[in-house]
Structure 1
Amino acid sequence: MQIHCRPLIACALLALPAAASAAEEVVLKVAHSLPPTSAAHTRFIVPWCDKIAAESGNRMKCQIYTAMSLGGTPPQLLQQARDGVSDITWTLPGWTPGRFPISEVFELPYFTADRAASSRALWDFAQADAASEFAGFKPIATWVTGPYVFHFRDKQVKSLEDIKGMKIRAPSRLGNKQLAALGAIPVGMPVPQMPESLSKGVIEGALVPWEVVPPTKTQELTRFHLEADTDRALLASTMVFVMNKKKYDSLPPELKKVIDDNSGRETSAWVSEQFAPADVAAREMTAARGNTVYALTPDEARRWQQASQVVTAEWIKEVKDGQRLYDAAKALVKKYSD
């Protein structure tokens, strides 16, 4: 039906609601579990949000909810994003055991190398072989942490015999298995629960990367810090930054493009690298307190690697097509490392 307007100003007024709707601001609820002082918040999430705001001409902005301020517990972050409680979340797949059984290969002991290279490899692997694990989500970035480090309360562990029977915080299902293979007693828990458990002696040590140390004050709760002096990380966790698929699908094409331009392999590598300075700063801060930062002897390190091999063998056996998936992921790590 054709509408005739007189005077012209009436037509202009009729067009206003449509114009306003087209330029309506989109606010994305972004949720994570750490405090606003954490490296994840300051070095990665805030800059990413600033970037999409700038590239969308401020038509798309983030409202960030730190430290589980939307409610729930860290293992529920993924489900909250799926259900639309949040629009975007940063979380660790290891907090939801069994939810990412294929991409979990990157959490095997002594598997990842340089963090940016391994993060590029994880993105490619997830797109090719683990896309089903992201059903209901628009993946923005997938990456690996820096190397995990053992942080011990009051005992300097120098051998497999020393760690036997110790209660150690583990980050994931495979972290649990690795600790058990080393003779320790794994205690699974998300990072926010770790400081109190260390303080009360519920656990005698914890496995976390260096960047987690300052926001959790781990340097004040532990005295000895064991690093793996190898070209492969003792252990690493995968991390994901994902968006509710329905929310993404609801965006107009030009805003989808902004999200797309800030997603993918290179975004994953960029995110992983934002944690590197925090690792260095945390290590220096810990050493400056007079805490002991050390590595195993080469012979002892080989013993730990050999003891951990059972974890890889079990993973390959229990996952369908495990050997092919392991080989594919390993080849990608090598490709990007080279």
Structure 2
Amino acid sequence: MKFKNIARVAALAIVAPATLFAQDTTLRLSHWVPEGIAPASKGITPWAKDVEEASEGRIAIQVFPAQQLGKAPDHYDMVKQGIVDFAWVNPGYTAGRFPIYALTEVPFLVDDSVRGAKAIHEWYAEFGAPAEMPDVKVCFVHPHAPGTLHSKDKITAPEGIKGKNIRPAHATMARFVSLLGGGPVQVPAPEVREALSRGTAEAVTFPWGAMYDFKLTDEVQQHLDMPFYMSAQILLMNPDSYAGLSDADKAVIDSHCTPEWSSNVAQGWFDDDMAAREKLIADSEQTLNVPTEEEVAAWRTAAEPLIAEWRDNVTAAGGDADAIFDGFVKSLEANDARY
């Protein structure tokens, strides 16, 4: 009897193996920061592990950090073309390609990254992704806590930018630097230390935690102590990779690609940024400079042309700039994330 059962199972396996054995799926996720730093260790990696656990092991996510599979600006095309199944993308690294999403880059609009992540996800799912990212599936929005300007010399007002070479966080910040008379030096985050040490750049717009993540405290020791800007990365999935999953595994992915998960992954990065800011305060070699109310007002006034420029770009791309902007503001206000 024992041998007959074995033979029967073997015969059935030849006829219909898919009905007998669950097929495990390995999905490749690429990002461009070192594995040990906050965006990965407190955001991307925990999310990937939760997907694996929720699928009861049917899905395995293989993470490739630190530009192993491609340069940071190439990640959108990597996931669009199916080179990887997931990619962590900074839309601001490809200037002009995603004019709607660029609104998230305009400074002094979002004051809280955790609530802001949910607000951006809800807004973009309605007003942006169907128009400018139709080739991919949006999983989560992943901003750092509002970052600031870190420089070799003290800068507290817009006029301090003039004549300085500054590494901007993204395309919109690059235009802001140019607007103020500075020279943008556009290199991916992993290359910032080299730019500062060589003197190619004299300042950088970065989240607080990046000072330690990229070992920059010896290069820039003056820090503008105000919520200056935000950069919201976004995790995207190749639609064919999604379509190839079973219904049960699609449900797992869907449950992990939500505005609530955007808040979840943003929380870890926020906590790390705030801990880094406290560490900088406690370091006698670092100086945090608090701007006056007048200087804050001057920064905000200086940034107003960026909104007008954003409107022009969206209109040129065929979008309803007024409706999209109003939708963004309403989403921020509904989530208590308006600057």
TM-score by length of 1: 0.91
Contact 1:141 1:263 in 2 (8 A): yes
1:21 Cα deviation from its structure 2 partner: 7.0
1:140 Cα deviation from its structure 2 partner: 0.7
In the alignment, which residue of structure 2 is the partner of 1:187?
Answer: 185
Using the aligned pairs only, state the percent identity: 27
In the alignment, the residues of structure 2 paired with residue 336 and residue 161 of structure 1 have an alpha-carbon distance, to the nearest angstrom, of 33
In the alignment, which residue of structure 1 is the partner of 2:298?
Answer: 303
Matches within 5 A, 1:187-336: 187-228=185-226, 233-290=227-284, 291-320=286-315, 321-336=320-335
In the alignment, the residues of structure 1 paired with residue 217 and residue 61 of structure 2 have an alpha-carbon distance, to the nearest angstrom, of 32
In the alignment, which residue of structure 1 is the partner of 2:59?
Answer: 60
In the alignment, the residues of structure 2 paired with residue 256 and residue 180 of structure 1 have an alpha-carbon distance, to the nearest angstrom, of 44
SS at match of 2:204: strand
- For residue 326 of structure 1, what is the amino acid of its counterpart? F
- For residue 66 of structure 2, what is the amino acid of its counterpart? A
Gap runs ≥5 in structure 1: 1-5
Contact 1:118 1:143 in 2 (8 A): no
SS at match of 1:86: coil
Structure 1 position 166 matched with structure 2 position 175: no
Q: 1:12 aligns with which of 3, 9, 14?
A: 9
In the alignment, the residues of structure 2 paired with residue 45 and residue 184 of structure 1 have an alpha-carbon distance, to the nearest angstrom, of 34
In the alignment, the residues of structure 1 paired with residue 13 and residue 38 of structure 2 have an alpha-carbon distance, to the nearest angstrom, of 43
- For residue 121 of structure 2, what is the amino acid of its counterpart? W
In the alignment, which residue of structure 1 is the partner of 2:175?
Answer: 177
Q: 1:88-136 deviations in whole A, cap 9, x for unaligned?
A: 1112111112221112111112111221222112111111111222222
- For residue 273 of structure 2, what is the amino acid of its counterpart? D
- For residue 96 of structure 2, what is the amino acid of its counterpart? G
Q: 1:10-41 deviations in whole A, cap 9, x for unaligned?
A: 33212235158741211111111111111111
Contact 2:113 2:266 in 1 (8 A): yes
1:240 Cα deviation from its structure 2 partner: 0.5
SS at match of 2:235: strand
Q: 1:171-219 deviations in whole A, cap 9, x for unaligned?
A: 2221112222333222222111111001111000000111222121122
SS at match of 1:168: strand
Pairwise CA RMSD: 1.8
Q: 1:141-161 deviations in whole A, cap 9, x for unaligned?
A: 0243321211102x1113333
In structure 2, the CA distance between the partners of 1:138 and 1:198, relative to structure 1 (3 Å rule), is same
Gap runs ≥5 in structure 2: none
Contact 1:181 1:311 in 2 (8 A): no
Contact 1:109 1:178 in 2 (8 A): no
SS at match of 1:150: strand
Contact 1:103 1:126 in 2 (8 A): yes
Contact 1:139 1:263 in 2 (8 A): yes
Q: Report the number of matched residues.
A: 327
In the alignment, which residue of structure 2 is the partner of 1:50?
Answer: 49
- For residue 295 of structure 2, what is the amino acid of its counterpart? E
In the alignment, the residues of structure 1 paired with residue 307 and residue 82 of structure 2 have an alpha-carbon distance, to the nearest angstrom, of 36
In the alignment, the residues of structure 1 paired with residue 40 and residue 20 of structure 2 have an alpha-carbon distance, to the nearest angstrom, of 31
Answer with 84-93 or 157-166: which moved more. 157-166
In the alignment, the residues of structure 1 paired with residue 180 and residue 229 of structure 2 have an alpha-carbon distance, to the nearest angstrom, of 13
SS at match of 2:209: helix
Q: 1:28-84 deviations in whole A, cap 9, x for unaligned?
A: 1111111111111111122112111111111111111111112x3110111111222
Contact 1:43 1:275 in 2 (8 A): yes
In the alignment, the residues of structure 2 paired with residue 7 and residue 192 of structure 1 have an alpha-carbon distance, to the nearest angstrom, of 61
Q: 1:249-303 deviations in whole A, cap 9, x for unaligned?
A: 0001111111111111101111111111110222123233320012211111111
In the alignment, the residues of structure 2 paired with residue 60 and residue 297 of structure 1 have an alpha-carbon distance, to the nearest angstrom, of 52
In the alignment, the residues of structure 2 paired with residue 41 and residue 76 of structure 1 have an alpha-carbon distance, to the nearest angstrom, of 18
- For residue 13 of structure 1, what is the amino acid of its counterpart? A
Contact 1:104 1:238 in 2 (8 A): no
